[in-house]
């Protein structure tokens, strides 16, 4: 039986997507790109899923793209004229950015190139103490092609992002934590447990409110304050009509834990 290169599992309202090529350091083939996008979209559309975890099997999170033998690599090396317009709407970086469901990167090992961009594209990053982030793009003659040039300056500022990208720097877990690239660094043996606990903590809250909060945070990155608070108010109106809002208020008054249904 052929081993699945990307695994998908749902438990306790948390979907886990696992890159499963440990012998290839979880490098992502062109076929895996489609699978990854499909699984992200499937999790986002599933009302039972309230958080998504992306991680890797074995000792690596993801060592980048594996384009050996792919049509992309063959065409680039052939001198053929490349298309001027690319449809990137269903590629993992674009799909990941537009998800309403919160995403967590569980960095079980090192992430390089595309793997680094994939981790940066998630909302939250938890990193094992033995993992690293390697911005090896310019050392390979390319740019951070999967969102890194957009995300990294917004996370840590222009100067630090420039130093990392221009030099192709590799960052230790402690450096990532110091810069604010990850929420926390944990012992490798505790990564799975802490990631699961965080996913379940998110899942306990009203999913419609969590998703709306994420949408507003994403929109707020590109709009002024006055426009933003107007959009936030418009998001509140349907939430006030939801059963979860009623449950949230009732549980508060009754001093009990809420039981949200997602509608």
Q: Would the pLDDT of 77 be above 60?
A: no
Same domain, 243 and 128: no
Q: In this structure, are 167 and 88 located in the same domain?
A: yes
Residue 71 has pLDDT above 70, yes or no: no
Domain that holds residue 219: 207-254
Domain membership of residue 260 (yes or no) is no
101 and 134 inside one domain: yes
- Within this chain, do residues 85 and 71 fall inside the same structural domain, yes or no? yes
For the chain, helix, strand, coil in percent to 5 are 50, 15, 35
Torsion over CA: 130, 127, 144, 77 (sign): positive
Q: How far apart are CA 75 and CA 29, in angstroms?
A: 16
Domain's final residue, options 168, 186, 203: 203
Q: Which residue has the tokens 């958080």?
A: 51
**CATH number reported for the structural domain that contains residue 69 in this entry:** 3.90.226.10
The verdict on 219 and 97 lying in the same domain is no
Co-location of 86 and 211 in the same domain: no
The CATH number of the domain holding residue 243 is: 1.10.12
Query: What tokens were used for 136?
Result: 């090896």
Question: Among 25-29, 39-43, 85-89, 152-156, which stretch is predicted with the lowest mean pLDDT?
Answer: 85-89
pLDDT average, residue stretch 155-162: 95
**Closest residue by Cα to residue 110 from 156, 148, 59, 161:** 59
Region 44-51: mean pLDDT is 97
Please tell me the predicted confidence (pLDDT) of residue 141: 83
pLDDT of residue 124: 98
Do 197 and 211 belong together in one domain?
Answer: no
Q: Note whether residue 163 is domain-resident.
A: yes
- On whether residue 262 sits in a domain, the answer given is no
**For the whole model, what pTM was predicted?**
0.90
In a shared domain, residues 45 and 85: yes
Number of domains in the chain: 2
């Amino acid at each position: 039986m052929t081993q699945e290169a990307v695994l998908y599992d749902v438990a306790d309202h948390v979907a886990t997507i696992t890159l499963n090529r440990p012998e290839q350091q979880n490098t992502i083939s062109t076929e895996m790109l489609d699978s990854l996008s499909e699984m992200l979209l499937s999790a986002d559309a599933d009302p039972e899923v309230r958080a998504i975890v992306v991680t890797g099997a074995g000792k690596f999170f993801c060592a980048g793209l594996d384009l050996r033998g792919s049509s992309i690599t063959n065409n680039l090396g052939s001198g053929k004229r490349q298309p001027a317009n690319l449809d990137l709407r269903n590629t993992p970086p674009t799909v990941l950015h537009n998800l309403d469901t919160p995403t967590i990167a569980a960095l079980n090992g090192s992430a390089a190139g595309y793997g680094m961009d994939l981790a940066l594209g998630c909302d939250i990053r938890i990193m094992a103490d033995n993992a690293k982030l390697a911005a090896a793009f310019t050392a390979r003659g390319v740019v951070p092609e999967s969102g890194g040039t957009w995300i990294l300056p917004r996370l840590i500022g222009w100067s630090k992002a420039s130093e990392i990208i221009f030099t192709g720097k590799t960052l230790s877990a402690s450096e990532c934590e110091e810069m604010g690239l990850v929420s926390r660094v944990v012992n490798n043996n505790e990564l799975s447990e802490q990631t699961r606990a965080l996913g379940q903590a998110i899942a306990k809250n009203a999913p419609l409110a969590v998703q709306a909060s994420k949408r507003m945070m994403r929109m707020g990155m590109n709009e002024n304050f006055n426009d933003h608070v107007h959009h936030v108010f418009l998001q509140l109106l349907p939430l006030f009509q939801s059963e979860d809002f009623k449950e949230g208020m009732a549980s508060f008054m009754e001093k009990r834990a809420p039981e949200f249904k997602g509608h």
